[in-house]
Structure 1
């Protein structure tokens, strides 16, 4: 359920910011199969999956599975989010130094370097 809600919020943010071409990397094989194969999941997840698919119909996307260890940026964000009380958008101008470094490594395709 957490992955579904995170994807929904991320897609809403992408559309809000005008990003119509997105590459979605998730550490949930269930989520990849749900999007690729049209699986609707349980009754509990049906409506959120329908919202996600409606948003995806508005954009060009690719979705792939990545192990949590392979995406240090997502791992850092998950850890930060676990301590938040409410919703928070990060400002690109005021990012944490360690996170900014991780983003630069990710951009340079150096996922094998792990912080910790």
Structure 2
């Protein structure tokens, strides 16, 4: 739909410029034909996804345009248990109604919660909150004496910046340096990206309206909704990627 709209606007603008510079006007039917020809060629090479691009498929049908329509199978992901004597830290951040929140939890090799946190924050940019969550989680892990930690975040930007794969946004430089200092003091650590759908426990704790709040929360504080997510994670439940 966006392609069709942009192409019509582009063709009208070209015709306007053509007339402005004294060229003979083009008949509206000719302009429409040129527009449809370009859209036709673009759509002919599109691979439209069955459950994400239904609007695009409908648009192609309305224009009478051929397109390659591929049905893709659903993709699943899951929370993976850490190895024995390794503790897994999952973190997340969220902003709702101008209020930010960070949350995270540390679990052992069988998926049992050791400690967790849920804190409110200002309405900062989301990638800064994601990094704040990682920093708080690492600090908490070190305070609790966990020397071997596997850190997971669903922020691809935060993970790739910390792994030095992407350039660091200038606003994030101070907190990135803090995280790197904390990691240098961690004997054994690993950092990886996790899909959002499999990071539900940390997402639950990051919500500004989370029913539990505190810098250090013990397993006795786990509410029912979070308990259900933890049980699914520990069982290796497969979450469909949306």
Instruction: Please give the TM-score of this superposition, normalised by the length of structure 2.
Output: 0.41
Unpaired runs of at least 5, structure 2 = 1-127
**Structure 1 vs Structure 2 CA RMSD:** 2.1
**Which whole-Å deviations, capped at 9, do the CAs of 1:63-94 have from their partners, x for residues lacking one?**
11122112211221122xx126xx61322113
What residue number does 1:63 align with? Answer: 191
**Which whole-Å deviations, capped at 9, do the CAs of 1:32-51 have from their partners, x for residues lacking one?**
11121265613321111111
What residue number does 1:24 align with? Answer: 151
More strand, by proportion? 2
Alignment of 1:22-61 (within 5 A): 22-37=149-164, 41-59=168-186, 60-61=188-189
Work out the CA distance in 1 between the residues paired with 2:173 and 2:195: 25
Q: Flag the structure with larger Rg.
A: 2
More helix, by proportion? 1
Unpaired runs of at least 5, structure 1 = none
Work out the CA distance in 1 between the residues paired with 2:239 and 2:160: 26
What residue number does 1:74 align with? Answer: 202
Structure 1 ranges of 4+ moved more than 4 A: none
